[in-house]
Structure 1
């Protein structure tokens, strides 16, 4: 998959809105690690069930070689999600729009990736699980 540093300008696909990248990881680059609150994981499971910018085919995880890793998600936790072929877009409190590959959920759960806190808050708000002001990233 293409690597973009967190919070760099989004250029993966043409878009009519300005966005910044989150979670475009590569095995050749370091990334922030840490514990992510359960409410953020729940939000990502909801958002990955309603992806944007759906592509053909799947990206393979460069860390464990999983192709289209799957797990249960959605609002009720029963929808099978296949990650790696689409994006999650969320708008932050300051109007910044974050674009993350759906693999961001796999990276958080399996590889300890800790997305920027402002992205986590925006994901929680968009999923309808809170205001985003509550603790989202655990140090």
Structure 2
């Protein structure tokens, strides 16, 4: 998969919006590890079912042998969503937009990737969870 540092300017595909990258990991680059609040994982599971920028190709995890990871997502948690070919996009409270590959869910749950806090806040708000300001990330 294409690597972009977290919070760098989005340039993976053309977009009419200015966005920042989150979660575009590569085995050739280190990444921040830690525990992510379960509400963030839940929010991303909900949001991944309404993905954006669906691509024809599939990106596989460079960190393990997972063969086409998936999650059960969507509002009811009953939609099987294959990871590795679409993006999750969210807008922060200050209007900043973020774009993450939906494979980011696999990175969090299987490889302890710790997302930038501002993206976590935006994802939780986008999924309409309460108390997003109380999220805790542990490095």
Q: CA deviation at 1:70?
A: 1.0
User: 1:101-138, CA deviations, whole angstroms, 9 ceiling, x for partnerless residues?
Assistant: 00010000000000000000000000111252122423
CA-based RMSD of the aligned residues comes to: 1.1
The match for 1:82 is: 82
CA distance in 2, matches of 1:135, 1:62: 28
Gap regions ≥5 residues in structure 1: none
CA distance in 2, matches of 1:88, 1:138: 23
SS in 2 for 1:49: helix
Gap regions ≥5 residues in structure 2: none
What are the within-5 Å matches in structure 2 for residues 18-33 of structure 1?
Answer: 18-33=18-33
The match for 1:100 is: 100
How many residues are matched?
139
Q: Give the TM-score, by structure 2 length.
A: 0.96
The match for 1:49 is: 49
Q: Give the TM-score, by structure 1 length.
A: 0.96
